[in-house]
Amino acid sequence: MLRIKNINTYYGQVHALKNVSLHLHAGEIVTLIGANGAGKTTVLNSLSAITPPKSGEILFEGSTIKNLSADRIVDLGISQVPEGRQIFKPLSVEDNLELGAYLRFRKREGRASIRKDIEHVFHLFPRLSERRRQIAGTLSGGEQQMLAIGRALMAKPKILLLDEPSMGLAPLVVKDIFKVVSKLRSEQGTTILLVEQNAKAALAIADRGYVLETGKVILEEKASELLENKEVQRAYLGKDKKEIWER
């Protein structure tokens, strides 16, 4: 469904991604794990045209998308949930969700269809339904993360790019969010590319994983095999992280 071939992405003179290649099959959850600064977010930003790669190729459903604008990529079916949530804090929960459907409004899609999808987001995240008219900036961190995911879903993506959904959240909230992520794949067939520092949590729901180090892919395996890999355990699945997730 998605194939990245040897992309090189820069921030000014900094070579952030170095000949990175990866792929996603339809209906998969694939996770990227690695230390801070490894290039995980840059992979997502390269896909979304936020930081376009200078070379290499990105193919979505067989067609190149490397030189397309960010809004065109969303329109094709790739939506990103950014690190740090980045919701529209002065607006209500419902207004944020409607903004997620902006391109659908622009194409004059019927309001009934959009309203149906808003109600589906509220079904996925009942706490948002209770706060539908609340100003988004007054939500808890977990509720803001739910809203950020819901907003991305309003674009009806085929592929959802999730950047650090567990960042700064309590373990029980993280479990709830990861259950919804699994449900999106199992019930809706959404393909998911997940960037996550909580490697154990990510690998527990993923089909495959890639390990990034200083802008390069150094390992690709099934998620179950990465969980058992001694080097991955040492670097990313330390005892403390394991205990936090299991609590």
- List pLDDT tens digits, range 204-231: 999 999 999 999 999 999 999 999 999 8
Tell me what pLDDT residue 245 has: 37
What is the reported pLDDT for 68? Answer: 95
- Calpha distance 188→158 (Å, rounded): 9
- pTM given for the model: 0.92
pLDDT (0 to 100) of residue 236: 84
| CA nearest neighbour of 164 among 45, 62, 70 | 45
pLDDT recorded at residue 238? 65
DSSP string, the chain: -EEEEEEEEEETTEEEEEEEEEEE-TT-EEEEE--TTSSHHHHHHHHTTSS--SEEEEEETTEE-TTS-HHHHHHHTEEEE-TT----TTSBHHHHHHHHTHHHHHTT--HHHHHHHHHHHHHH-HHHHHTTTSBGGGS-HHHHHHHHHHHHHTT--SEEEEE-TTTT--HHHHHHHHHHHHHHHHHH--EEEEE-S-HHHHHHH-SEEEEEETTEEEEEEEHHHHHH-HHHHHHHS-HHHHHHHH-
pLDDT at 119 over 60: yes
Mean pLDDT value across residues 72-88: 95
pLDDT at 181 over 70: yes
Q: What percent of the chain has pLDDT over 90?
A: 81
Q: Could you give all domains of the chain from N- to C-terminal order, each with its CATH number?
A: 1-77+197-247 (3.40.50.300)
> 């979304």: which residue's tokens?
48
pLDDT in tens, 2-31: 999 999 999 999 999 999 999 999 999 999
The pLDDT, as a whole number, for residue 110 is 87
- CA pair distance 111, 161, nearest whole angstrom: 26
